[in-house]
Homo-oligomer: A and B are copies of this chain.
Amino acid sequence: MQGCALWASEVLPQIRIIGVKGLPEIEPGDDLTTLIIAAAEEQGTPIDDDDVIVVTQKIVSKAEGRLVALGTVQPSSQAQQIASETGKDPRLVQVILGESQRIVRQTSGVLITQTRQGFVCANAGIDASNIGGQDHVSLLPEDPDASAATICKGIEERLGKRVAVVISDTFGRPWRLGHTNVAVGVAGMLAFVDYVGETDPQGYELKVSIMAVTDELAGAAELVMGKLSRIPVAIVRGFPYPKGEGKAQDLVRPPEQDLFR
C-alpha cells in the first residue's frame, strides 16, 4: 500500500503553508532553484528536510524559455477555422494546437484540449497574462515532471535537504465554476495516497479512497499565492507526504477509463 497512515496518532496534525516572496521577475535561462533557495532564506523561512515546495508553472515556463511571440506564428487553415468558431486569436489557436494531442470541446470563447502531457484543460494551459509583453504567451513546460525533478535534485545538491516539489497550474472543472490549482509536475513524492484495502477505525474496509494529495497540495499553496501578490512559490511544511518516485503523469486518467471523451 502506498502512503500508509500519514499522521502518527500521538501528534497534533498540523501543516504550515508559507508563501515565498521576493523572487525577482523571472527571465529565460534563470536558475530557479537558486532563486527559490535564496528567497526562502531571505525571508527567514529557509527550506528544510521534508518540505513540499510548490512552484507555479508560470515561472517554470519563463525560466525554461517556453514563450512564444504571437507575431511569429503563422496560423494554419485549421487554426483559422477554430479561431472563427471560438472567437480566439488564430495565432493563439495555432499555438494551442501545437501543444495538444486532441481537442476535447470547443464552443464560443472556449477551447478545451488534451495537452501533449495528457492534461485536459482550457487553451492547452497556455497563458497570455502575467508575461512581460502582451503579444507573448507562455506554454506549459515541455516535461513538467522533469522540471520538478530538476528543482528537487538541485535543492538536495545545494542544501543537502530532501524535499518534494510540485509544479502547479490553474485549471477549470467541467461541473464546478471557478478554478483551482492542480499539480502538473511532481518529484520526490508519490502523486497519491492510496487507502484501498485499508480498514477504518470501525473495522470496515474503505472502498475508493485514492487521494490525489499532490493536487490538494497545489490548491492549498494557491491560498497563499493569490494571483496578484507575486508569490510564485510556497513551502508546505509538516505534511508527512508519501515518499517515492511519483509524477504528475500518474494523475492522467487513461483513455479507456475516460467517460467524458
User: In chain A, residues 210-252, which have Cβ atoms closer than 8 Å to a Cβ of chain B?
Assistant: 210-213, 215-217, 219-220, 222-231, 239, 250-252
Q: Are B43 and A178 in contact (CB under 8 A)?
A: no
Q: Are B224 and A201 in contact (CB under 8 A)?
A: no
Give the Cβ gap from A15 to chain B, nearest Cβ, in Å. Answer: 4
Partner of A211, one of B179, B230, B252: B179
Q: Are B224 and A13 in contact (CB under 8 A)?
A: yes
Q: Which residue of B lies closest to A226 (CB)?
A: B6
Residues of B within 8 A of A222 (CB): 211, 213, 216
Partner of A178, one of B6, B18, B251, B260: B251
Residues of B within 8 A of A114 (CB): 175
Partner of A179, one of B6, B112, B209, B229: B209
Partner of A19, one of B7, B119, B227: B7
Q: Are B12 and A211 in contact (CB under 8 A)?
A: no
Give bound CA distance, A223 to B219, whole Å. Answer: 11
Residues of B within 8 A of A48 (CB): none
Give the Cβ gap from A18 to chain B, nearest Cβ, in Å. Answer: 5
Give the Cβ gap from A165 to chain B, nearest Cβ, in Å. Answer: 16
Q: Which residue of B lies closest to A192 (CB)?
A: B178
Q: Is A139's beta carbon under 8 Å from chain B?
A: no
Which range holds the interface residue count of chain A? 35 or more
Q: Are B13 and A231 in contact (CB under 8 A)?
A: yes
Q: Is A77's beta carbon under 8 Å from chain B?
A: no
Q: Is A258's beta carbon under 8 Å from chain B?
A: yes
Q: Are B178 and A212 in contact (CB under 8 A)?
A: yes
Q: Which residue of B lies closest to A258 (CB)?
A: B175
Residues of B within 8 A of A219 (CB): 180, 215-216, 219-220
Partner of A223, one of B15, B21, B43: B15
Q: Is A53's beta carbon under 8 Å from chain B?
A: no
Q: Are A177 and B204 in contact (CB under 8 A)?
A: no
Give bound CA distance, A43 to B222, whole Å. Answer: 28
Q: List 25 A-B contacts (CB under 8 A).
A: A5-B226, A6-B226, A7-B226, A7-B229, A13-B18, A13-B229, A14-B18, A15-B17, A15-B224, A170-B209, A175-B253, A175-B260, A177-B252, A178-B211, A180-B211, A180-B212, A180-B215, A195-B228, A198-B228, A200-B227, A200-B228, A211-B222, A216-B222, A219-B220, A220-B220
